């Protein structure tokens, strides 16, 4: 008998061509799940990840979709169902970060940003609510910044605070089908996007602000997600887990 906790499960991870999303996809594959890898721009990296998974004996399907567009999200789920016949796990990872003072944000920037981070999460959650198998798992990626007063990240934090509330509402809506819905809120995490524009000294200072004295690596976040989608977390739902090394 296999000891892989997700053997036979089908997992869809949005924004999984790189960064935290890629780490989550790799970890769930190692635990036995077949993967639907979603990307919008980085096709080469998405197909590279699929090849890595398949070379290790796993199964993967690559699907391009813009989560901010309802038709794309519906197609993403259609292709997942066509390839694998079911969906057991959805990890809502796709999103963008945005750093700008509230007083300087334009209406166009507000609309674009919320379209991706909030509308995108909503559209994926909506399809997940309709299509995830009973007993399934939904995990949304939030941020620790929702509980901090961080200058220049007000819009980003606001979009993720809304994600937290969607998580809580969905947990109650889907509980009768034994589907758990949770959010994971990382702190600073070592990705290309996070490092962009920062000096080594700045990153070290951010790491020292955490109780464990460093920033996260992507596998730190992926391991928390892997726990939440496993049967070990069957009694956890409607929660936002702050995976930040004791930052707050």
Residues serving a catalytic function are 156
Alpha-carbon span 72 to 189, nearest angstrom: 28
Alpha-carbon span 213 to 179, nearest angstrom: 35
Alpha-carbon span 70 to 207, nearest angstrom: 38
Buried residues in 70-93 as b, exposed as e (16+ CB within 10 A): eebbbebbebbeeebeebbbbbbb
Alpha-carbon span 79 to 36, nearest angstrom: 9
| Residue tagged 């460093």 (tokens) | 214
């Amino acid at each position: 008998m296999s000891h892989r906790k997700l053997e036979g499960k089908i997992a869809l991870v949005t924004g999984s061509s790189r960064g935290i999303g890629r780490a989550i996809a790799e970890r769930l594959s190692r635990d036995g799940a077949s993967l639907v890898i979603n990307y919008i721009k980085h096709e080469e990296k998405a197909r590279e990840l699929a090849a890595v998974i398949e070379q290790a004996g796993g199964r993967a399907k690559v699907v391009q979709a813009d989560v901010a567009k309802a038709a794309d999200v519906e197609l993403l789920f259609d292709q997942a169902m066509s390839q694998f016949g079911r969906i057991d796990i959805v990890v809502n990872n796709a999103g963008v970060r945005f750093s700008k003072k509230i007083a300087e944000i334009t209406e166009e920037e507000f609309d674009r940003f919320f379209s991706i981070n909030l509308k995108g999460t909503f559209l994926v959650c909506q399809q997940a609510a309709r299509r995830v198998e009973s007993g399934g798992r939904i995990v949304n990626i939030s941020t620790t910044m929702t509980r901090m007063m961080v200058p220049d990240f007000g819009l980003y934090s606001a979009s993720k605070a809304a994600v937290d509330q969607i998580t809580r509402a969905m947990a109650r809506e889907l509980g009768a089908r034994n589907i758990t819905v949770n959010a994971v809120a990382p702190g600073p995490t070592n990705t290309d996007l996070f490092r962009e524009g920062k000096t080594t000294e700045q990153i070290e200072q951010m790491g020292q602000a955490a109780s464990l004295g460093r920033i996260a690596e992507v596998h730190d976040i992926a391991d928390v997600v892997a726990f939440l989608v496993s049967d070990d977390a069957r009694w956890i739902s409607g929660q936002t887990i702050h995976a930040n090394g004791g930052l707050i």
